């Protein structure tokens, strides 16, 4: 199965600023998924990123707040823009679901907004 390198692993940011999270995959994948996990909660899908097209966002998430880039088949970034304390969460990228392999996750980015 694919191996994902995600960074940064954690960050503490001032409100009103932006943070870009990067995920690098060791193989080419068509779709990458971005999730948010708020403290003590489950994983919620933010968006699906396809290479060469705009990301598809889930209800409650908008491109202006969470812009996503997908420049090639092994890399994606998620930006959390104009942050507020409510954005404090763990953000995870994920790939998979094809062939005999399940889905794998990056190690996550623990974001604290102060």
Partner 1 sequence: GENVEQHPSTLSVQEGDSAVIKCTYSDSASNYFPWYKQELGKRPQLIIDIRSNVGEKKDQRIAVTLNKTAKHFSLHITETQPEDSAVYFCAASILGYALNFGKGTSLLVTP
Residues contacting 106, CB < 8 A, separation 6+: 4, 5, 6, 23, 92, 93, 94
| Strand stretches in 4-88, DSSP E | 4-7, 10-13, 19-25, 31-37, 43-50, 56-57, 68-72, 75-80
Which single residue is written with the structure tokens 């707040």? Answer: 65
The residue from 39, 52, 60, 102 that contacts partner 1 (CB under 8 A) is: 102
Which single residue is written with the structure tokens 């097209």? Answer: 53
Q: How far is the CB of 49 from partner 1 (least distance, A)?
A: 10
Size of the site for partner 1 (CB under 8 A): 20
Which residues 36-75 are close enough to bind partner 1 by CB under 8 A?
A: 41-45, 48
- Residue 61, burial from CB neighbour count under 10 angstroms (0-12, 13-18, 19+): middle
3 near partner 1, rule: CB under 8 A:
no
8 to 27: interface string for partner 1, x by CB under 8 A = --------------------
Toward partner 1, which CB reaches closer, 48 or 79?
48
Q: How far is the CB of 18 from partner 1 (least distance, A)?
A: 24
Residues that bind partner 1 (CB under 8 A): 30-31, 33, 41-45, 48, 92, 94, 97-98, 102-108
């Amino acid at each position: 199965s694919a191996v994902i390198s995600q960074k940064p692993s954690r960050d503490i940011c001032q409100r009103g600023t932006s943070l870009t999270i990067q995920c690098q995959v060791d193989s080419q994948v068509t779709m990458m998924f971005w999730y948010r996990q708020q403290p003590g909660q489950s994983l919620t899908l933010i968006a699906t990123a396809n290479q060469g097209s705009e990301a598809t966002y889930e209800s409650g998430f908008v491109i202006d707040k969470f812009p996503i880039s997908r420049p090639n088949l092994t890399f994606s970034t998620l930006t959390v823009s104009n942050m507020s304390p409510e954005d404090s969460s763990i953000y995870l990228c994920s790939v998979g679901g094809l062939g005999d392999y399940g889905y794998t996750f990056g190690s996550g980015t623990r974001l604290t907004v102060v």
